[in-house]
Structure 1
Amino acid sequence: MIDSWRTEPSSEKPMWYNRFDQVDHISQHPDPEKTGKYPPVDDTRKLMKTRGDPTSCPPYRYVYGHYEHLREPVFPRKPDVAKGELAAGANVTRTDVWKREGEPAIQSIARFNPDNFRPVGYAENIPCPDTCVPEGHLDFRHTRLPTWHADRRPFHYFATGMFGLIGLAFLRGTVVKVVHGLWPARDAIAAGVIEVDLRGIQPGQNFVVKWRGKPVFVRRRTQAMIDAATADDAIVNSLRDPERDKDRVKKPEWLVMLGVCTHLGCVPYPDQGLYGGYFCPCHGSHYDHSGRIRLGPAPLNMEIPTYEFIDDDTIILG
């Protein structure tokens, strides 16, 4: 029986130099016809060095398989100290060489050569393991996981929690700054709402007040202006931007609107134009006494801002 297509059966070659098979690692699959017989072991360092430890060959990953697929890996059984088995540190699988009682270790090591080792054979009667790390296939976990690892877990948990709390604190500060940066400033909010006293405005006068960086026309209309604006309601459907006068004012006497032409943003002149309301000197747009566009390039009526009367003589813009 052959355990691998890359290696000869263990019954044909002594297993004195057993190692794990590594994936695509040519040094683990030498040609026995070219390499010949391994030289005798004459140095203790050759015996002390672990050959099957995954940490000795970091670039390669090991294949852990069943004995019937791979050579038997190096898993030295625990020496029987009472019998004097195996010189300390000898990295062998099975051997007939025992350390004799009272003999120096260096003398027994001299007998560790291929001629004194016997074939290992196969573990054909062992059932195929159904776990990732069966009892017969150690995974060198003790070399990868330090023995003090479990003792440091509380410290790791504590450090992780502390760094997490610090990160959450920084995150909270960042979110608060971003949200507060999106809120308008109090002075901007205060500037967005202003009161206008109407008691000083005479009939027919067009009073201008600055609100949010734009001019606002507050006109106290005469009865003639009111009659002219309401008379044009009869032809409202023919206007460019149909809108009745009563829909543009809250009180017939007072007309409040932005003093900006809806064409390109110029400031119209009051009491001018063909309809006696407002006239834009930039491109010749004509508005009536209700601020509706009647002639010219302006597409819409003059805009009505948000306002309300808090009493008969005061309005609030915004």
Structure 2
Amino acid sequence: MLIARLIADPDGLETRLDAVTAALEREGMHVALAQMTDFCGDVLQIALPAGDAGVVRRLIDEHFAPADVLVSQVNFRIPQLFVSDMDSTMIGQECIDELADFAGLKDQVSAITERAMQGELDFASALVERVGLLAGMPEATIDTCLADRIRPMAGAQQLVATLRAKGCRTVLVTGGFHHFADPIAAQLGFDHVVGNRLAVTDCRLTGELAGPIVDSSVKERVLRDESAKIGEGAVSLSAGDGANDIPMLRAATWGIAYRAKPKARAAADGAINRGDLTAILDLLGIPRDEWVAPSHG
């Protein structure tokens, strides 16, 4: 059984559903059921007795984009674990790019960041190169950058709070830095944080990292280790936007690409391209009257 849930522009929805149904039939996949769900009137659910999830995703993208979509080969339920990337996923910025702006290096650092996220550069090498450019920066600059530049992504706090209220363990895992990730995780309500550490001497950045690098393999390992702690058959959800997130997205029960780069979007089970992060709650089938309101304290 394959189940696809999607949220798209309601205008012409029936016509596009007819078109995607015909396209799926041409691929040898029969649509057994297609209807709006009870838990959220915006969510269209398409059920197929069997099929190729990748082809279903591709055809939905072709006919409904921009849409929020999740394709599953198991019945939907509340995940027991949520592991998310931070930069450009839970927050709207790339921390190292914003920090570099204080040193007049944003264009140079942003170009490296973009190539790494597209999967054109080795992440670890790109990280070391970018951190090296920050050598000599006062550590206090990070606090200023955090206060002035860094903002949660729309829906982030409500997503995390609702999942936690449902008993889901939440973990923020980032190729960014604990200087940023720790306060952001506290603000958003994550249970645990894994990230890189900037080396500091005499209150200034040394241009080096302290400890091992958190790269794509570490992100995947965190998801697998946390799942193992829950037990066999643990249901996991992950979210990310760049090439560095791909192994983590693939390892989860459901990997969701948020406003993601093409490689990450292609590797994921779902994608958010239209709404904010609370669209994940709609796609999982959590009724809106059970969502936890974001804190404004």
TM-score, reference length from structure 1: 0.19
TM-score when normalising by structure 2: 0.20
Q: Bigger relative contact order, structure 1 or 2, given CA contacts below 8 A and separation 6+?
A: 2
**Structure with the larger strand share:** 2
Please tell me whether Structure 1 or Structure 2 has the larger radius of gyration of its CA atoms. Answer: 1
Q: Which has the higher helix share?
A: 2
